[in-house]
Amino acid sequence: MFGDNESVYRAAQLISGKEMNFEALQAAITSIIEAVGEDPVRDGLKKTPERVSRMYEELLAGYRVDPVAMVNDAIFDVQYDQMVIVRDIEFYSMCEHHMLPFIGRAHVAYVPDGKVIGLSKIPRVVDMFAKRLQVQERMTSQVADFLNELLHPKGVAVVIEALHLCSMMRGVKKTDARMTTSAVHGYFRNNMATRMEFLDNISRAAEPLHI
């Protein structure tokens, strides 16, 4: 129903056949606890390595998502050629530089060319890329590239805004600084009116981000 599976897998950059090594994760967490001067066998920390390893399984689940199964044939032939926007998609990701969270919202739009995707699948695409060790710039491009490869639409646009704990808790310690990134294809790159319509829609009554 959509582009060949190989191209969809390539766009998703799926890491196949690699399961998490919980034994190695728990040993690493135990080493960190010891390295900071704590006692890994005291009551409060005894099960921390296990808990943290299971947490990473959830937070980094995007590496093991099958993109074809995720889409699950939810692409439909529809004669509609106006802009489709899904805005304010909340996400949580992990900065690959300091392994601290960044938290934000994604706004995704596309102009169909005979095919549309089920509404719930766009947030799932965002989550697939968010639940990895990431940088926001790459994640923005990955979402846009994946939808472009999947749907072959007339245009795709993605804007992501996020707060980064690595700049809030450490370093410059700027608690209100947020990053905004964008990636565009097709109409959104070549047509100023289309791009401005998208930006105008996502800027209306935007809710503030909170942590």
Higher pLDDT, 170 or 141: 141
- Given 59, 85, 108, which residue is the final one in a domain? 59
34, 90, 96, 137: the catalytic one is 96
Specify whether 159 is located in the same domain as 83.
Answer: yes
Residue 66 lies in a domain: no
Specify whether 128 is located in the same domain as 50.
Answer: no
Residue 13 lies in a domain: no
pLDDT confidence of residue 72: 82
**82 is annotated as an active-site residue:** no
**210 is annotated as an active-site residue:** no
Coil, helix or strand at residue 57? helix
pLDDT confidence of residue 5: 67
Tens digits of residue pLDDT in 107-158: 999 999 999 999 999 999 999 999 999 999 999 999 999 999 999 999 999 9
Percent of the chain with pLDDT over 90: 75
Q: Is the pLDDT of residue 162 over 50?
A: yes
Specify whether 120 is located in the same domain as 49.
Answer: no
Residue 9 lies in a domain: no
pLDDT confidence of residue 160: 98
CATH number assigned to the domain comprising residue 127: 3.30.1130.10
Residue 114 structure tokens: 């005979």
Residue 68 lies in a domain: no
Find the mean pLDDT for residues 63-83. Answer: 90
Question: Closest Cα partner for 126 from 12, 31, 209?
Answer: 12
Specify whether 51 is located in the same domain as 135.
Answer: no
Specify whether 51 is located in the same domain as 81.
Answer: no
CATH number assigned to the domain comprising residue 27: 1.10.286.10
**107 is annotated as an active-site residue:** no
Specify whether 92 is located in the same domain as 39.
Answer: no
13, 98, 161, 197: the catalytic one is 98
Specify whether 80 is located in the same domain as 153.
Answer: yes
Quick one: the chain helix, strand, coil %, rounded to 5?
40, 25, 35
Residue 7 lies in a domain: no
Q: Is the pLDDT of residue 1 over 50?
A: no
Q: Is the pLDDT of residue 76 over 70?
A: yes
pLDDT confidence of residue 22: 94
Residue 87 structure tokens: 């805005």
Specify whether 34 is located in the same domain as 96.
Answer: no
**164 is annotated as an active-site residue:** yes
Domain that holds residue 153: 73-203
Specify whether 162 is located in the same domain as 79.
Answer: yes
26, 134, 136, 142: the catalytic one is 136
26, 95, 107, 185: the catalytic one is 95
CA distances from 9 to 3, 13, 40, 54, 183 (A): 10, 6, 41, 26, 20
> How high does pLDDT run on average in the chain?
90
Specify whether 86 is located in the same domain as 139.
Answer: yes
Residue 176 lies in a domain: yes
Q: Is the pLDDT of residue 14 over 50?
A: yes
**152 is annotated as an active-site residue:** no
**97 is annotated as an active-site residue:** yes
Specify whether 142 is located in the same domain as 186.
Answer: yes
Specify whether 35 is located in the same domain as 82.
Answer: no
Quickly list DSSP for 16-43. TT----HHHHHHHHHHHHHHTT--TTST
Structural domain count, the chain? 2
152, 161, 166, 197: the catalytic one is 166
Residue 16 lies in a domain: no
Tens digits of residue pLDDT in 46-67: 999 999 999 999 999 999 888 8
Residue 35 lies in a domain: yes
